[in-house]
C-alpha cells in the first residue's frame, strides 16, 4: 500500500467532530465551525449596526470593523488572533490593498498568519472587504 492510500484510509476511519456556532436561527450558514482542533470562520463583511447596510468610510474602516467582529467570534469559539493560521481577504478593488493592509498589520504585528488576498465581486455594492480565517484551538 502506498503512502497516499494509507492516508486516505486513515481519513475515512476517523470520526470528525463538529460544533457549529450559528449566526441566527434559520441562517443558511454557520458563523464558525469547530472541528478537530480547528476553528473555521465564515467570511465577514462590515455592516453598520444601525442601518444593517455596508459600513461607510472606505476599505480601512471596513477592515477594522471586520477584524473587531472576527476577534469576538474567535473568543466565542475559544481561540484568539494569535492562534490564527490562515486568513483570506477579498477586496472589491485591489487598489484598496494598501489601505486594508495598513489596518491588518495592526492586528497581526508579529508572526502573522499565512494570507491570501484577491480581488472579488462582493455580495453588495457597498462592501469593499471580506475576511475569513482558520485558527487552532
Q: Model's pTM, two decimal places?
A: 0.84
131 phi, psi to nearest 5 deg: -135, 140
Would residue 8 count as lying in a domain? no
Would residue 52 count as lying in a domain? yes
Residue 52 lies in domain: 16-136
Would residue 55 count as lying in a domain? yes
Contact indicator for 91, 59 with CB cutoff of 8 Å: yes
Angle between helix axes 59-77 and 97-107 (nearest 10 degrees) is: 30
pLDDT along the chain (137 residues), means of 10: 42 59 70 90 93 95 97 93 97 98 96 97 95 97
Would residue 29 count as lying in a domain? yes
Planar angle of CA 120, 126, 130, nearest 5 degrees: 45
Per DSSP, the three-state class of 56 is: coil
- CATH number of domain containing 95: 3.30.1330.40
State residue 22's pLDDT score: 58
Q: Structural domain tally of the chain?
A: 1
Would residue 9 count as lying in a domain? no
* Cross-strand partners of 107: none
Amino acid at each position: 500500500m502506498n503512502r497516499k492510500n494509507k492516508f486516505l484510509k486513515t481519513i475515512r476511519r476517523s470520526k470528525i467532530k463538529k460544533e457549529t456556532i450559528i449566526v441566527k436561527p434559520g441562517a443558511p450558514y454557520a458563523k464558525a465551525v469547530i472541528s478537530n482542533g480547528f476553528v473555521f470562520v465564515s467570511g465577514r463583511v462590515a455592516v453598520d449596526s444601525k442601518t444593517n447596510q455596508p459600513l461607510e468610510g472606505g476599505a480601512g474602516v471596513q477592515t477594522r470593523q471586520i477584524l473587531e467582529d472576527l476577534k469576538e467570534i474567535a473568543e466565542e469559539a475559544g481561540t484568539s488572533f494569535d492562534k490564527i493560521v490562515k486568513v483570506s481577504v477579498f477586496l472589491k478593488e485591489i487598489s484598496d490593498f494598501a489601505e486594508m493592509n495598513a489596518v491588518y498589520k495592526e492586528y497581526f504585528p508579529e508572526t502573522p498568519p499565512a494570507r491570501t488576498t484577491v480581488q472579488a465581486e462582493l455580495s453588495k455594492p457597498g462592501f469593499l472587504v471580506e475576511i475569513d480565517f482558520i485558527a487552532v484551538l
